Copies of this chain bind each other. A is one copy, B any other.
């Protein structure tokens, strides 16, 4: 029987950060990560394996850091966990006893049961699995016409990367715009135009009905009857929590299939934690359970688990999950944090958008200046910042993080308009027209009406 103080199942972002933080905060405790992959891919880097990175070998989690911190890594598959006796069994025949256990089992691609043709050859999904991904890369080499189904971030990024290496790519999305879950119309439209200008064919407003072919894929059918030819189909229709093992161990899950946890990611059994895509998320604004899955959220949760395994070392609680997304198409960045106006309205939160269009350098005559558009989503009455989105250049990601920090500090537009920000010709918008401040200023005028 192998013994470890802390056992973490899963070696992607959540498991990795939990292990590192645990060793850092509890240097006297032994920490073991069990994962099925010999090498683990960086999850958010996966779409770039198909283009910018050339190979999954350039997209690996740094195992060296785990070794440096003294984390034990076991490559094996967990077959069952006995929570009462605190023992875990593996396919390789190991029995491992533990004091604390952390489920960091992630998520797996969703494939609708009703989808005819889903088992044909050359129909792929995008899991966080290096061997599978390497095999897709290989198999796509001699395919030219590729249909990607699902215009969320992963579908968009995979389409753009395959287009970059010369494939003929069609992206299909059922909503009126790509990225429709995270952007209000204007931003979604902008992203879509850029993706099309880069050469990807985008078909929105109709979903997939069936995949066609004999033995192997020959195309897809849309719900309006249109047919699209394809040598390969990539399904990017969302992910679901990977919680079979947790359920077998007797842990409760919610209606999204996430493992029930409290603010400190503890199940009802304080020796058992869940973290990342497999764990319950509560919305930042309403505290309702929400199906958000993001590596950045997973890492924030993992730091909390790693610090609080043996006692609530940091009594700071987690305010709920804030969706913070961004991506880039070439030099053009897009992103959002918090609620869109549409989503706020769905939550019965009266809100309005305030948009300012500027530039990401100043004067805008400088080389490589990008348009920089910021929309703030503001609560009527209080002026609280509920969300925001950004379209701009290479600084888009950190600009979204500025908005997300404003949300997490419960800032209002009144706070923002007197906030001091730094500016520089080569790095930001001008001080006279910094887009977050200008959007706040316009929102304030709207509130005073």
Contacts and interface: CB of A to CB of B under 8 A. Distances in A.
A111 interface: no
B45 A362 contact: yes
A378 B427 CA distance: 26
Interface stretch (A138-146, A208-216, A222-230, A319-327): A319-327
Nearest to A407: B420
Contacts of A52: 366-367, 426
A398 B337 CA distance: 16
Nearest to A318: B418
Contacts of A432: 13, 16-17, 20, 61, 299
Nearest to A298: B431
A1 interface: no
A405 B60 CA distance: 33
Interface in A290-345: 294-300, 303-304, 307, 314, 316, 318, 321-322, 324-328, 333, 335, 337
Contacts of A367: 52
A424 B327 contact: yes
A347 B421 CA distance: 23
Interface in A424-439: 424-428, 430-432, 434, 437
A430 B397 CA distance: 12
A428 B335 CA distance: 12
Contacts of A307: 417
A5 to B, nearest CB: 19
A16 B430 CA distance: 12
Contacts of A362: 42, 44-45
Contacts of A423: 44, 295-296, 299, 397
Contacts of A399: 398
Contacts of A430: 42, 44
A292 to B, nearest CB: 10
Contact of A324 (B298, B325, B420): B420
A303 B45 contact: no
A58 B417 contact: no
Contacts of A42: 362-363, 425, 430
A354 interface: no
Interface stretch (A101-109, A243-251, A408-416): A408-416
A296 B422 contact: yes
Contacts of A25: 445
A59 B326 contact: no
Contact-residue bracket for chain A: 35 or more
A128 to B, nearest CB: 14
A394 B53 contact: no
A271 interface: no
Nearest to A21: B441
A394 B427 CA distance: 6
A402 B402 contact: yes
Contact of A420 (B335, B395, B408): B408
A365 interface: yes
Interface centre among A52, A295, A423, by most chain B C-beta atoms within 10 angstroms, is: A423
Nearest to A426: B328
Contacts of A204: none
Contacts of A414: 314, 316
Nearest to A427: B397
A396 interface: yes
Among A307, A362, A393, A430, the most chain B Cβ lie within 10 Å of the Cβ of: A430
Interface string A50-78: 00110000111100000000000000000
A60 B321 CA distance: 44
A280 to B, nearest CB: 16
Given A13-B432, A431-B13, A431-B299, A366 B53 contact: yes
16 contacts: A17-B432, A25-B445, A42-B363, A42-B425, A44-B423, A48-B425, A296-B421, A296-B422, A298-B431, A300-B421, A303-B418, A314-B444, A316-B418, A328-B426, A401-B421, A405-B406
Closest 9 CB pairs of A and B: A397-B427, A324-B422, A398-B398, A299-B431, A58-B365, A328-B426, A394-B394, A409-B409, A296-B431
